[in-house]
């Protein structure tokens, strides 16, 4: 009984298109340790968005999308700062992302969203098949949140103990800025080709590698 407003309709279309694109682009992006988790999340996101739209549970769907976007914005800003060699800004943004992620996905999501779908929605509308499907998908999403939180806390702990974000805990492929600085410029091969993260020693998602190259494999 929730009317679908035009702005919510277009918001759903944009988000659905975004997660469909991530599902395919992941295969040509940098290979990370959480590849399986990421792919599962993308499939789950597409299923949840489609399912909530079809069943007209758009209010809870919109809240979940906004909750996820709030942390993703800070994460992308931290990545851009890292690519621009602004290490202090990147570290600050990453720690901000860690706080926003944990508060939103381990605090607000289970205590507000899951509490509503598991208990309040059942009391208001009773039992129906779509409710069980929705709750199972949302619980799987919460499990992924817990796995990611472990990786984020692990990286944040290294950042606090060492004074900077040393390396993405999810990956052994993409090199970080502090590793690049340890290689003398005169000994490092110069690359003139922008790689997509699947070839070269430290190709970073189409980012021009520049004059330094990590020796770590």
- Cβ contacts of residue 109 below 8 Å, gap of 6+? 64, 67, 142, 145
Q: Where are the domains positioned within the chain?
A: 6-167
Alpha-carbon gap, residue 215 to 217, rounded angstroms = 7
- Ranking 43-47, 126-130, 161-165 by mean pLDDT, the lowest is 161-165
Alpha-carbon gap, residue 93 to 152, rounded angstroms = 13
Alpha-carbon gap, residue 165 to 137, rounded angstroms = 33
Alpha-carbon gap, residue 195 to 57, rounded angstroms = 42
Is residue 56 within 8 A of residue 4, CB to CB? The reply is yes
Is residue 95 within 8 A of residue 138, CB to CB? The reply is no
Name the average pLDDT for the chain: 79
- Ranking 25-39, 80-94, 101-115, 179-193 by mean pLDDT, the lowest is 179-193
Confidence band of 64 (pLDDT split at 50, 70, 90):
very high
């Amino acid at each position: 009984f929730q009317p679908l407003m035009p702005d919510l309709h277009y918001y759903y279309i944009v988000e659905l298109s975004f997660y469909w694109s991530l599902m395919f682009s992941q295969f040509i992006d940098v290979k990370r340790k959480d590849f399986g988790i990421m792919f599962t999340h993308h499939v789950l996101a597409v299923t949840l968005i489609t399912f909530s739209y079809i069943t007209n549970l758009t209010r809870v769907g919109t809240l979940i999308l906004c909750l996820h976007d709030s942390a993703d914005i800070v994460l992308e800003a931290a990545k851009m700062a890292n690519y621009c060699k602004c290490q202090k800004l990147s570290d600050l943004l990453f720690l901000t992302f860690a706080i926003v992620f944990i508060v939103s996905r381990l605090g607000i999501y289970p205590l507000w969203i899951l509490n509503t779908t598991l208990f309040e929605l059942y009391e208001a509308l009773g039992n129906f098949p779509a409710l069980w499907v929705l709750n199972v998908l949302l619980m799987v999403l919460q499990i992924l949140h817990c796995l990611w939180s472990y990786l984020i806390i692990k990286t944040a702990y290294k950042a606090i103990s060492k004074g900077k974000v040393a390396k993405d805990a999810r990956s052994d492929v993409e090199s970080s800025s502090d590793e690049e600085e340890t290689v003398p410029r005169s000994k490092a091969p110069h690359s003139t080709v922008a790689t997509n993260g699947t070839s070269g020693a430290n190709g970073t998602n189409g980012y021009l590698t520049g004059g330094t190259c990590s020796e770590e494999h």
